[in-house]
Amino acid sequence: MADESSPSRGAIPFRPLLIATGNRGKVVEFQSLLAPAGFTLLLPGDLGLSADVDETGDSYVANAFLKASALAALSPHPVLADDSGLEVDALGGAPGLYSARFSTLESGPPGPWLDAAGKPLPQAAANRAKLLKAMEGQENRSARFRCVLCYMEPGKSAAFFEGVCEGEIIREERGDGGFGYDPILIPKGYSQTFAELPGDVKDAISHRGKAAALFLKSLAASRD
């Protein structure tokens, strides 16, 4: 978390922003993307709140709004929520909205998804294993990460910002960085997976980085 006593140069001291997620990987990315703009990121747990919200929407926009509005109703601070997913063309856009729990869905190759020792894989690794299994024999490997951010300030309407990063699915995992599906997607124009790219490069080209850039641009324009 940012140090309130030493904000970045030119930033507004203690510019709180509640991030509506419990995903540690997303928190790390938001810290990198938003803290330099002067934000002090707050997590739901910092305020005694829960980030668990039923994602029952039929779109990224709907789910991001559900998460943002749930926390905005309980906090005086501005809220930023994210909904994102991996869309694979050969799978008709799946896993899409269900990316985070893909391995638990009945559709697609059946599990169980186990490691070399025969133990169940963590959710993210199981998701990747199922996706690679579903892609066996597929020549069309095109895919994209998509992110929608929902920003809510007290007394104002929600604002949405979307970022997309095109790429392709490789045939086996590569890289130790990032999280989620990062080890199996190479962004267009690169030879490394998201899990292999340096953090600053990933921030500049990723779906979440692009959405965050639009968010920051909108805030700057509203304050001119």
User: Active-site residues: which are they?
Assistant: 83
- Given phi > 0 = left and psi -120 to 50 = alpha, else beta, which region is 14? left
CA distance 7 to 96: 37
Residue with tokens 């024999």, as numbered in its chain:
137
Helices first, then strands: H and E counts in the chain:
5, 6
Edge-to-edge, what's the strand order for the sheet holding 79-88?
39-42, 15-19, 79-88, 142-152, 159-169, 185-187
Q: Dump the DSSP string for 2-46.
A: --TTSPPTTPPSSEEEEE----HHHHHHHHHHHGGGTEEEE-GGG
CA distance 113 to 78: 39
Q: Which helix (H) or strand (E) holds 164?
A: strand 159-169
Residue 217 CB contacts under 8 Å (≥ 6 apart), including other chains: none
Residue with tokens 């996706």, as numbered in its chain:
131
